[in-house]
Amino acid sequence: MPTIGGTALLNARRVPDREAVVEGSQSWTWRELSRLIGVAAAALDDLGLRRGHRMALLAANSMEFIVASHAASRVGGIVVPINTRLAVPEIVHIVSDSGATALAFGVELASVAEAVRVQVPAVLLAALGDGGDHPHLIGGDLTTSIDDDLAAEDDDAFILYTSGTTGRPKGSLMDHHRAVWAAMAQIVSLGLRDGDRHLHLAPMYHSGGTTFLNATTMIGGTHVVAGRFEASAVLPLVAQHRIDWLFGVPTMYQQMLRCEATTTPAIDSWRIGVYGGAPMPAPVIEQLVARFPSVSFFQQCGQTEAGPTGIYSTLDQIRSRPDSSGHVAQPFMECKVLTETGSECEPGGVGELVFRGAALTKGYWNQPGATAEAVRDGWLHTGDLVHVHDDGAMRLVDRMKDVIITGGRNVYSAEVEQAIASHPDVLDVAVVGKPHPEWGATVTAVVTLAARSTATASDIEEHCRTLIADYKIPRVIELGAVPRNSTGKVQKHVLRNVSTDSTGH
């Protein structure tokens, strides 16, 4: 089985003249890209990056990101992608925790990289372009190149840090074997084809973005880099670059649907649309299918620690049960839903979703205790609670740590969020429990309304009364922005720490 770095070398031999990367008005073939990777690998070798060493990667979606990631892999290094929107102390934590010996950065992030090195003086900086006094990985000395893959299948390839929605992120360790199988799971489950062109909307530094990057490379496809996400630009890019598939979080699709284009570009190439990272409201799914009838939409629900792979639904399954999170495990993985006693959950019940398979993490970097807690008897315990339907469909209802117990009753935030999201004026919603001296917790919702909406908190409450039990209805409804991280996940720990008027509306 190939390594991640070896796939680009294979493409350079198999489809050398096929476009590998398109960014703006520039493009590179697989022959050209492999050459750039070899030069960057030689530069990393000169810096002292060796097999098993970690290279932190701080860059936006770009050709440079792809080259740097593959270059580190080619010399046997471990890539540590970093969210570019993190603050310096957060980046310092990841660089320090991973023990990175080098930090490769996009030139626009030079000041951030330099601020990180002040606190981690041992880390070496390498610029992805003209970075002033720092060594250049891209566009450096073209006479030196590493054109062999120095990594082996069982070498470590990535440390993918969790999004940290509940606290400090942990690093999920993946070797090349696991990373390749995670990419294969996407290729098989989505029906990707040799040479498919992928529009990168999600950040490459995210675990999902990394896996889609690997999957596109493995099929000798073309990476079309969109840059900063702009909803109005997506369909023109699809038409211009003959895009076959793309991934977006639900908020991206919702913003695309709200764009009022005067003309509809020819998007007949668009075959596959994937979404995940957060629940998609059922009305939005219906709008997507109606507006883009030729696109096969897939829903995915997984975890970084699973590759990230997980459960998924095909378009027919989405249509039959739009409120589900997935119907079956992705290829090369298996899943179960377990009750508190460890038995498999019967239809109609709620239990914890667990995974095992070829793409499962090796464990958390330098955290054996956390690894032992999460991975038991070969099964990853996700902490996600799902409701099992009679047809096998699974619907995410909450994180185990997020279940709201009010007056002795369990309230699952996803159920409440779904009820609120069905209101026509609601754009976004998050539900948490906040401490209450008598009831244990108060169901609290933060709701984002459409720009010209006149709906009030009381209107939202009345809407819920027709859909869910009285004790599930939020006693406090705040109108405002839902805090989300850069990958679209709600930061519920932030909501819980924000003081709320206990009188409610």
Domain assignments of the chain as residue spans, ordered by start: 1-152, 403-497
What letter represents residue 328's amino acid?
V
Question: In which residue ranges of the chain is pLDDT below 50?
Answer: 500-505
What is the Cα–Cα distance from 382 to 235, expressed in whole angstroms? 35
Pull the structure tokens for residue 193: 């084809």
Pull the structure tokens for residue 408: 């002795």
pLDDT at 140: 65
pLDDT at 387: 92
Spell out a b/e string for 441-476, using b for 16 or more CB atoms within 10 Å of the CB, else e: bbbbbbbebeeeeebebeebbebbeeebeeebbbbb
What is the Cα–Cα distance from 414 to 394, expressed in whole angstroms? 13
Distance of CA 3 to the CA centre of its chain: 22
What is the Cα–Cα distance from 26 to 12, expressed in whole angstroms? 18
pLDDT at 505: 38
Q: What is the pLDDT of residues 192-224, one digit of tens each?
A: 999 999 999 989 999 999 999 999 999 999 999
What is the Cα–Cα distance from 321 to 144, expressed in whole angstroms? 56
SS3 111: helix
Spell out the alpha helix ranges (H) of 293-396. 315-320, 368-374
Burial class (CB in 10 A: 0-12, 13-18, 19+), 118: exposed
Which fold does the domain 1-152 belong to in CATH?
Answer: Rossmann fold (3.40.50)
Structure-token match 């997507």, residue found: 288
Instruction: Return the biggest CA–CA distance within the chain.
Output: 73
* Non-local CB neighbours of 189 within 8 Å, separated by 6+ positions: 298, 312, 330, 331
- By the 8 A CB rule, do 402 and 413 touch? yes
pLDDT at 500: 44
SS3 262: coil
What is the Cα–Cα distance from 271 to 295, expressed in whole angstroms? 5
Stated pTM of the model = 0.86
440 half-sphere exposure, CB direction, 13 A CA radius:
10
SS3 425: coil
What is the Cα–Cα distance from 490 to 467, expressed in whole angstroms? 23
Backbone angles phi, psi at 282, to 5 degrees: -55, -40
pLDDT at 111: 95
What is the Cα–Cα distance from 380 to 362, expressed in whole angstroms? 11
What is the Cα–Cα distance from 160 to 304, expressed in whole angstroms? 7
SS3 406: strand
pLDDT at 504: 43
- Give the number of other Cβ atoms within 10 Å of residue 401's Cβ: 10
Q: What torsion, rounded to 10 degrees, do the Cα atoms 116, 117, 123, 127 define?
A: 80
- By the 8 A CB rule, do 396 and 407 touch? no
pLDDT at 127: 95
Which fold does the domain 403-497 belong to in CATH?
Answer: GMP Synthetase; Chain A, domain 3 (3.30.300)
Pairing label, strands 379-388, 394-399 = antiparallel
Pairing label, strands 309-313, 409-411 = unpaired
Q: What is the DSSP string of 128-155?
A: SS--TTSPBSSSS-TT----S----TTS
What letter represents residue 173's amino acid?
L
pLDDT at 178: 97
Helix (H) or strand (E) holding 435: strand 426-436
Pull the structure tokens for residue 132: 């002033």
Whether the ω angle into residue 368 lies within 30 degrees of 0, i.e. cis, is: no
